[in-house]
Amino acid sequence: MKPAAYSAIASSTIPFNQQTSVIRINNSLVGAVERKALAWLVRRVPARMTPDTLTAFGIVGAALTLVGYVLTAWSAGFLWLASLGLVFHWLGDSLDGNLARFRKIERPKYGYFLDQTIDVIGNLLICLGMGLSPYVRMDIALLALAGYHALSIYSLVKACVSGEFHISLVGWGPTEMRLLIILMNTTIFFFGAPEFVFAGLSMTWCDITVLLMAAGFFAAFVHLLASYAAELAREERRSYDEEPQGRRPRAI
């Protein structure tokens, strides 16, 4: 016979957002300018171009960034190719959903699922490229990727709980990340990235930059996690206190 506690857990239901789509919120630093640019571009996308084609185009852009970074071992000029790949990645990643909504051919579940999972591949290709270049250590590039994905997981889980999908967090989103990387590429091309030894490790100023980015990601993740968990706890405690005595759920 199963313990009572096990039965209570097995028979309990967990409230879950049943929406087929979520509210998209983008309060990033360049969000207003980006929305205007996307509104202009989406009206000029050729009819034969579909949202799925744009999603694939974004992955091609990420792969191009990887190739560009790898080729910088021979010439810093390939940094421009890496930056061009980031522009292509932005076009595909940002335009696919906007095009579907503009043409009124949305597939909320499919689109949300595909977009968020494909992003994992694109982010991995970009960070692998940075780590394979002469400018950023692979361990630091992957640490930044882990921090970025920690924030992405927070945003996706919060969307399930609240029905609000925050594309940007604390004013920072994917577009700002790409712009920062393009700025870093441009700075490397014009001023170089000489190596120095810090704490016994050979590093460049790019390593320090990406390491600070990773620290910022993890700090934001911890802050957002703690603050939203506390907010949910207060809301559910308030709801519990407002329930009539006979209808209050028993604690497990």
Structure tokens at 14: 């967990």
Query: Domain locations in the chain?
Result: 24-243
**pLDDT attached to residue 248:** 54
pLDDT for 5 equals 38
Say what the pTM is: 0.85
Among 3-12, 20-29, 186-195, 234-243, the least confident range: 3-12
Question: Which of residues 76 and 2 earns the better pLDDT score?
Answer: 76
pLDDT band at 201 (very low <50, low <70, confident <90, very high): confident
- Could you report the per-residue pLDDT of 102-124, keeping only the tens digit for each? 999 988 889 889 998 999 999 99
Scanning the structure block, which residue is given the tokens 């990773």? 214
| Residue (of 82, 38, 77, 34) closest to 62 by Cα position | 82
- Give the list of residues 6+ apart from residue 54 with CB closer than 8 angstroms, or none: 45, 91, 92, 95, 96, 99
What is the distance between the alpha carbons of residues 134 and 69, in angstroms, rounded to a whole number? Answer: 8
CATH code of the domain made up of 24-243: 1.20.120.1760
Residue 247 or residue 225, greater confidence:
225
Q: What is the pLDDT of residues 230-249, one digit of tens each?
A: 999 988 888 776 666 555 55
- Percentage of the residues of the chain whose pLDDT score is greater than 70: 87
HSE value, Cβ hemisphere, 13 Å, CA-based, for 234: 6
Tokens 């703690």 identify what position?
A: 226
Identity of residue 119: D
* Tens digit of each residue's pLDDT (9 = 90 or more) over 30-77: 888 999 999 999 999 999 999 999 999 999 999 999 999 999 999 999
Task: Find tokens 């171009």 and name the residue.
Answer: 49
Residue 59 neighbours by CB under 8 Å, 6+ apart = 89, 92, 118, 121, 122, 125
pLDDT at 215 over 90: yes
